[in-house]
A and B are shown apart, each in its own frame.
Chain A
């Protein structure tokens, strides 16, 4: 099935917004590059040629003895001794950044300023800031995307059911959502953080619990409107079940509102995670996170590269997302779609 005329026009509108269009491409580029963070910033080489054989340390653990060392433990490729052993009979191919997010550089007292070795310097524990930013960007975006996905699914489902059936169910659910939104999320997260050790998925679960309400309102409104459409009544007269009517006849009407809101939900999710990390309530200590970097920047004002890096990366990411969001919103705006139709005859 081809793309409909209306959607084609929306796509054209989106393309015509140069800022949003390029923001999307830059964001996607950054996202896919950081998805392969292990291949860009790692303390293991991409490829080791040794004694005629090829080794891939990123995928497989090789004990030092493979390369003629003494220990049965995994080879430490940053160790000059191991490097010398390998270079004798072969060579190492390193990633662009020779540090992983948790590689500690003991050679200087941290934090060190940007240098040829550490392009963005090191943080207060001697870890490479660039590597942490790459991994942090990835975890922020992935967290944001997953949170957006789950909140959207739950929010759309809840809004759809409420709007479609209306009545007492709608009334009770709306009151529940009002109370739920009134809960002080931050305090609950502080309490949770003291009870359980928050990890990526437990944090995702907790945040989903409180962020699904974002889309309920718009979807509910669309369904309240759509359930009185004549063709919905026609479908009911045909004996079509409620679930099918919702999916086939009323959900498409709510999709525009949902898609319009999603980029903003995404940037909101990223900001929330950063905020929690900044307060120390987010991802477990040691995880690469932009919020944690921001916190280090505040604690180490004498090392301005920490704060500046975190600020620039966050500002860039959120700006890109907001630009994309604006472009999507404008592209789906019925008035603009209509204007274009008139302009093109």
Chain B
């Protein structure tokens, strides 16, 4: 465990109660069952897995949007799971979240600039003019035109909406950005634009991503390390090249075989 680890997750468990089976007895489903990993500053870790494997729950728990049952999550040297109230809210500035669905994650009643300004208003550290300048800067950083600031979310396309979501996540200069399937709601051509944007921002701003995805094609494009989750556990953890060239676990092999590609289609065809 080196010192430049920005995120350390140790033995994280999250459970959900199931229906009572008898008197006083209660069964639990462990959606996340003993997950541990470290993430270095400036790198990208992808968590992949099928639906229901617990990858999104892991992300939500790290972001304190879902209650953890046991384990520890450390951002820098802060124990995230122990924080409460104002401290928790302060910490959230250092860790941002990009949501899967750009249609539902933006409040339809607010203008684009107000959505991007919200974290700044909430942080309340800059004077108003500086916030305006920062919003303008963020708009150009994510490739939106300044004249689009006054528009409402429904006036944007899916890709543009996700750009607003990214601008909002960048607003407070976070140490860590959790991307929860940021492109799976977008069509393929737009996916590539958004992924390239995320990569460019990473090199420009030195961002650290925790990238959740079920699409290995996307993962291959984005990350340094990959953790494969299956039924709440990490079954394989490797760097990108090793994983894609020499998968160890049977489940990883199955996942890789399931990736549709033009080359394999041609070979079979």
Within the complex, what minimum Cβ distance (angstroms) separates A11 from chain B?
17
Instruction: Give which listed residue, B90, B97, B106, B107, contacts A237 with CB less than 8 A.
Output: B97
Instruction: List residues of chain B with CB within 8 A of the CB of A252.
Output: 109
**Interface status of B122 (Cβ within 8 A of chain A):** yes
Q: In the complex, which residue of chain B has the Cβ closest to the Cβ of A234?
A: B105
Among A64-72, A110-118, A176-184, A239-247, the one that faces the other chain is: A239-247
- A249 within 8 A of partner (CB): yes
| Chain B interface size, under 10 / 10 to 19 / 20 to 34 / 35 or more | 20 to 34
> Taking the complex as formed, is B58 at the interface, i.e. its CB lies under 8 A from any CB of chain A?
no
B105 touches A238 (CB 8 A): no
A199 to B259, CA, bound (A): 77
Max chain A Cβ within 10 angstroms of own Cβ: one of B106, B109, B123: B109
Q: Are A231 and B104 CB-contacts (below 8 A) given A236-B65, A244-B122?
A: yes
- Contact flags B212-255 to A (C-beta < 8 A → 1, else 0): 00000000000000000000000000000000000000000000
Contact with B along A210-253 (1 / 0, CB 8 A): 00000000000000000001110111111111001000110010
Pair A239/B93 contact, Cβ less than 8 Å: yes
Q: Let me know if B200 is at the binding interface, CB within 8 A.
A: no
* A8 vs chain B, min Cβ distance (A): 14
For the complex, give the distance between the alpha carbons of A299 and B61 in Å. 71
A239→B92 contact, CB < 8 A: yes
B136 within 8 A of A: no
Judge whether A239 and B106 touch: CB under 8 Å.
Answer: no
B65 touches A237 (CB 8 A): yes
A179 vs B189: C-alpha distance in the bound complex, in angstroms? 58
Take A238-B96, A239-B90, A249-B107 as given contacts and tell me if A233 and B118 are in contact as well, using a CB distance cutoff of 8 Å. no
Chain B residues, CB < 8 A from A231:
104-107
Let me know if B119 and A230 touch, CB within 8 A: no
Contacts of A230 in B (CB 8 A): 99, 101, 104-105
Cα distance A236–B65 in the bound complex, in angstroms: 8
A186→B89 CA distance, assembly (Å): 48
| B107 surroundings in chain A (CB, below 8 A) | 231, 235, 248-249
Q: Which of A233, A238, A249 contacts B122 (CB 8 A)?
A: A238
Find the B residue at minimum CB distance from A231: B107
B65 neighbours in A (Cβ, 8 Å) = 233, 236-237
Min C-beta distance of B105 to chain A, whole Å: 4
Nearest 3 CB-CB pairings of A with B: A239-B92, A230-B104, A239-B89
Q: Which residues of B contact A (CB under 8 A)?
A: 63, 65, 88-93, 96-97, 99, 101, 104-107, 109-110, 118-119, 122-123, 165, 168
Known: A233-B99, A239-B123, A248-B110. 19 other contacts (CB 8 A): A229-B104, A230-B99, A231-B104, A231-B105, A231-B107, A234-B99, A234-B168, A236-B65, A237-B97, A238-B92, A238-B168, A239-B89, A239-B93, A239-B122, A240-B89, A240-B118, A241-B122, A248-B107, A249-B107
* 26 residue pairs from A and B, CB less than 8 Å apart: A230-B99, A230-B101, A230-B104, A230-B105, A231-B106, A231-B107, A233-B65, A233-B105, A234-B99, A237-B63, A237-B65, A237-B97, A238-B122, A238-B168, A239-B88, A239-B89, A239-B93, A239-B119, A239-B122, A240-B89, A240-B119, A240-B122, A241-B122, A244-B122, A248-B110, A249-B107
